[in-house]
Amino acid sequence: MPAGARSFVNVDDARRRAKRVLPRVIFDYIDGGAEDELTMSENIAAFRDFAFRPRMAVGAQTPSLSVRLFGTVLRLPVILAPCGLVRLIHPDGPAGIAKAAASRGTISVLSTHAGAPLEAVASASSGPMWFQLYAGGRKEAESLIHKAASAGFAGLVVTVDTPVLGRRERDIRNGVEPPLRIGSRDVVHLGPQVLAKPVWAWRMARDGLRMFGTGTSGRHGGPPGDPGAGVVEPEPSVLRFSNTASPFHWSDIDWMRGIFKGPLLVKGILTADDAERAVACGADGVIVSNHGGRQLEGAPATLRVLPEIVAAVGDEVEVLMDGGIRRGSDVVKAIALGARAVLVGRPYLYGLATAGRPGVGQVLDILGDEMARTLVLLGCPEVDRLDSGWLRPASSSAATS
């Protein structure tokens, strides 16, 4: 492991170090949310609504963190969420993320806009992978789905919360067109940011990836000023659509179910009604998500709506959740409220920025260690025994001595 890879002790520490490494425009792209970022903040705050109900004097043992998901045993119920433009964070990029997930016995989800060909990422990883689909129509979607299946992606994640992009005001303040489209015209006002972060600039230069300009550059594709920067597929219609949105309808989910044979998950679910619609369309799982607070400002925190959705469809499909997870104890709370596993995005991106693939692995190790310690202190021997009986409202947990 390279020097500095073990230099952070928790996710928040990784965030601080990522901020020191990355140009502000890229850090803000990772770290920011929509508008006033209230939904993003509420995702984190929601975990404070719940306190634990521990069982004492049950002895200390090594708890099991394993769960079975669609026939695959995960050693850690923390999945790496799909994130776009990750090659601007570190040259290890999507392949490094996939390798880190495989080495910890979990799943990574490749975004259509991750910045590397899906076949190359799939061949670089020895572990299970899912593919997250963005597309501008059924023709493009069908092509991507078939290529993902041929490359060996076991699951398909369809994100339904981006009919248009949320207003991400940090990007606007930084003077770039969301989502982080940077062209040669931006060199003057962003150049000082790049020069102020020599470690990041050196990594990018060594990898042959130019930050600015036009045309094809680097061995992994064009720079972000190109229309298709960060897009997995080179088809022109996909490239044109990449910087707008992905307005899927329920009829599209039903259609996708007919052409993809593996597990199909619908991401962006926030109500029981929509969860039931996803099940009716043939989904095998739903991901309770508000896009990390990057889309609809004022959407509910995902942890707060998780029980409603589990009650509606938890006996029929797998329910996963993302949003606001910063500690292993957060993972324990989400699973106790009915999630089969969780997805994280920003935490592993902070690790990626700090130390590349080893940094992603360290974030997973940190979350796993925190989960294990929490379970021991709870008196719970394994993740599969968690339920709402291990929690209570935080407001009623206070006691006086």
* The one catalytic residue among 113, 220, 249, 291: 291
Residue 401 resides in a domain: no
Tally of domains in the chain: 1
The CA distance from 294 to 36, in Å, is 10
Residue 6 resides in a domain: no
Give the type of residue at 184: S
196-210 b/e (C-beta count within 10 Å ≥ 16 → b): ebeebeebbeebebb
- Rounded to two decimals, the pTM is 0.88
Q: What are 242-293's pLDDT values in tens digits?
A: 444 678 999 999 999 999 999 999 999 999 999 999 999 999 999 999 999 9
For residue 209, pLDDT beyond 70: no
User: What CATH number did the domain enclosing 202 receive?
Assistant: 3.20.20.70
334-355 b/e (C-beta count within 10 Å ≥ 16 → b): bbbbbbbbbbbbbbbbbbbbbb
CA 90 to chain centre: 16
The CA distance from 31 to 17, in Å, is 13
Residue 16 resides in a domain: yes
Percentage above 90 pLDDT, the chain: 69
Residue 143 resides in a domain: yes
Residue 399 resides in a domain: no
Q: What are 3-58's pLDDT values in tens digits?
A: 444 578 999 999 999 999 999 999 999 999 999 999 999 999 999 999 999 999 88
Residue 287 resides in a domain: yes
For residue 398, pLDDT beyond 50: no
Q: What pLDDT is recorded for position 179?
A: 63
Residue 205 resides in a domain: yes
Residue 4 resides in a domain: no
The region of weakest confidence among 101-110, 187-196, 234-243 is 234-243
The CA distance from 30 to 19, in Å, is 10
Percentage above 70 pLDDT, the chain: 84
Give mean pLDDT, residues 115-137: 90
- Identify whether 90 is a catalytic site residue: no
> Beta strands 67-69 and 72-74: pairing type?
antiparallel
- Range(s) of the domain holding residue 103: 11-394
